[in-house]
Amino acid sequence: MTEAQENSPEAFFAALRENFGETIRAGRSAEGVCDPRLIEVLAAQAAELFDRNAEIQSEGQPEPACCRGCAACCALQVAATAPEIFLAARFLRITASAFAAYGVDFTARVAAFNAKTRGLDQQARFASTMLCPFIINGACAIYAARTLACRGHVAFDRAACEAAARGEDVETPVSAAHKTVRVLVQGALQEALRERGLDGGAAEFLTGLERALTDPDAETRWLRGEQVFEDLRLDAGAD
């Protein structure tokens, strides 16, 4: 194999898939039972792999315009894997009392948002200008547990993003490096899950999250290999 082949996207994808596969094997007992901790380990591994490789691949690019207070892209529909969805659900359960002290009930906010946007495609969803229910005062309340899709959507022109959010026909320059790394990391995770008998599909994040928050058996069933989010599927390339 040449150096170019060793450094190709295909080789990178294969290495990622094997990396995730080893994690899944380590988190499964001899009887084939998955440890519940596998969810957090896989989600953290995916985030770490994305962050580290996106930083390398984006070297020399302009500084991202994304910052606290800018939520222009947060009306987009988001595709997420089961580990990402369950990680966010766990984060919300852990922080529920802290948010409740400020009168914020994210389970209710997510349900209300889904009721308003149900049936809308990506274009209609963005055109609605309805921001993700986790945006408060322009900031993401679950930033630490945000999805790969959210991590991978990096823009260079805040004014252009805000204009697009207002419905103007403008070009919004985004980082191809971040998007490519996100697609490779998420795709490798999905393939590793499928190869080892777990549901590797990508679901609409907020509707999947509502299910994870309201169905106490969703995690257990997913760890057994059930297609918990099958009816909520989105194309893995969706932002």
Give the DSSP H or E segment for 80: strand 79-80
What was the pLDDT predicted at 23? Answer: 98
What was the pLDDT predicted at 71? Answer: 85
What was the pLDDT predicted at 169? Answer: 86
Q: Provide Rg for the chain, Cα atoms.
A: 18
What angle, 0 to 180 degrees and rounded to 10, lies between the N-to-C axes of helices 9-26 and 37-57?
160
pLDDT at 215 over 80: yes
Q: With left for phi above 0 and alpha for psi between -120 and 50, is residue 131 left, alpha or beta?
A: beta
Give the DSSP H or E segment for 183: helix 176-195
User: Which of 52-56, 58-62, 220-224 has the lowest average pLDDT?
Assistant: 58-62
Using CA atoms, how far apart are residues 17 and 195, in angstroms rounded to an integer? 10
Average pLDDT over residues 202-227: 97
* Residues 69-107 pLDDT 10s: 788 889 889 999 999 999 999 999 999 999 999 999 999
What's CA 61's distance to the chain center, in Å? 23
Q: Where are the alpha helices (DSSP H) in 27-157?
A: 37-57, 82-100, 106-117, 122-127, 148-152
pLDDT at 3 over 50: no
**Cβ atoms of 12 and 22 closer than 8 Å:** no
